[in-house]
Homo-oligomer: A and B are copies of this chain.
Amino acid sequence: MGISITLTPIGEVIGGRIELEDDAWGEVESVIRLNPQQCTEESLRGLEEFSHVEVIYYFHLVGDEKIEFGSRHPRGREDWPLVGILAQRAKDRPNRLGVTICELVGVNGLEITLRGLDAINGTPVLDVKPWMQEFSARGTVKEPAWAGELMRNYW
């Protein structure tokens, strides 16, 4: 392999939080401001008919030296198991990608207002997709206890 893929952000997160925090993202409101060199108002036509959107973004503040390729304790909690970086959702991961489903508050020109986007002010946005309930996990979802604990106060 060894190929590389070059992407251009379609926009940027404006507002919301200035610094990353672990928890209580649920009520945070922020805006994705689309880049007019990449998108037009037409790119968003009909988005308001959806209640939720899925955002793919880039953890731009993670330095190369921080990226984990092996395993670690989620949030450094040694009472939780050692977990591979691809078996947790930590930001310090290969390619630094984040994905979140959040509530659509409104669309205004090239600005999309969202509630519950867990990305800070200035985060580059790589994609916005409408959330369709048919894309939810099919079948019964199972996850380990540490994940439920970690997520308890996330939103």
A94 touches B5 (CB 8 A): no
Interface residues of A in 119-153 (CB under 8 A from B): 124, 126-144, 147-148, 151
Q: Taking the complex as formed, is A47 at the interface, i.e. its CB lies under 8 A from any CB of chain B?
A: yes
The complex is assembled from copies of this chain, and their number is 2
Q: Could you tell me if B95 and A7 are in contact, using CB atoms closer than 8 angstroms?
A: yes
Tell me, yes or no, whether A106 is within 8 Å of chain B by CB. Answer: no
The tally of residues in A whose CB lies under 8 Å from a CB in B reads 77
Q: Is the CB of A94 within 8 A of B127?
A: yes
Within the complex, the shortest CB–CB distance from A125 to chain B, in Å, comes to 10
- Beyond A51-B139, A56-B95, 10 additional contacts (C-beta under 8 Å) are A8-B95, A51-B137, A51-B140, A51-B142, A86-B128, A95-B127, A116-B138, A131-B137, A132-B143, A134-B154
